[in-house]
Amino acid sequence: MTTASSHTPTLRTYAFIDRMQPQCAAHIAATSPGDVPLAGMAELYIEMAPGNEVFRAADIALKAAGVRPALQIIEREFGLLEIHSEQQAEVLASGRAILDELGMTETDRIRPTIASTQFITNVHPYQAQLLNKWRKGSMLMPGQSLFVMEVAPAAYISIAANEAEKAASITVIELRAVGRFGRMFLSGTESEVQSARDAAVAALEGIEGREDRR
């Protein structure tokens, strides 16, 4: 049994992904400390403040339906939970259970804001080498185009990356969904990266929520 806290938590992110794309799933599996997700699974990201609220959210989700967690991270300001399942219905049921327990709806989440985007064509070999030193995904090859997106709250970058991979033949270089800003680095041909960029932006602009008052 989890005891509810005396204050009202903030639902920063509620991000449902219907079908994980292969590269996005592989990146999470390679970098997450929890259960390994597979391509084709559904998943849900929930980011909350204060960070400790994700412990309660995880308890509710795991007891409500057949889901497994890849992430339960508490960092300086926020907490992040990722759950996934082969069945979309299971993930949605867990999400509804969390919202019901908190007395919230999806639209109580913060609407994502695109903080910055960068589109670089014909990446210089030195820049590619620098990025490859810390990337967790695929290598960035010189001469490719590179798209970098920064979004807040951070976990929404997962939706952006997944929709980008659905829309275009691109390579996922790096995804960072924790902290104040989420970031993704995608590469490919100029036309494919442009298509991925457009899909990512459209996905974020279609998410309803409230303004961040911080």
- Please tell me the predicted confidence (pLDDT) of residue 1: 53
C-beta separation of 121 from 190 below 8 A: yes
pLDDT in tens, 121-175: 999 999 999 999 999 999 999 999 999 999 999 999 999 999 999 999 999 999 9
Please tell me the distance from the alpha carbon of residue 110 to that of residue 134, in angstroms, as a whole number: 30
Position 179 confidence tier, pLDDT thresholds 50, 70, 90 = confident
Which of the 8 DSSP states describes residue 184? Answer: E
133-159 in b/e form (b: 16+ CB < 10 A) is eebebbebeeebbbbbbbbbbbbbbbb
- Please tell me the predicted confidence (pLDDT) of residue 76: 78
- Please tell me the predicted confidence (pLDDT) of residue 94: 97
Beta carbons within 8 Å of 99's beta carbon, 6+ residues apart: 11, 14, 105, 106, 108
Which of the 8 DSSP states describes residue 87? Answer: -
- Please tell me the predicted confidence (pLDDT) of residue 140: 95
Domains of the chain, with CATH numbers? Answer: 10-108 (3.30.70.1710), 113-205 (3.30.70.1710)
The region of weakest confidence among 2-6, 27-31, 82-86 is 2-6
Please tell me the distance from the alpha carbon of residue 40 to that of residue 50, in angstroms, as a whole number: 31
SS3 52: coil
- Please tell me the predicted confidence (pLDDT) of residue 75: 85
Please tell me the distance from the alpha carbon of residue 81 to that of residue 66, in angstroms, as a whole number: 15
pLDDT in tens, 48-97: 999 999 999 999 999 999 999 999 999 878 999 999 999 999 999 999 99
Cα-trace Rg, the chain: 17
Residue 2 pLDDT greater than 80, yes or no: no
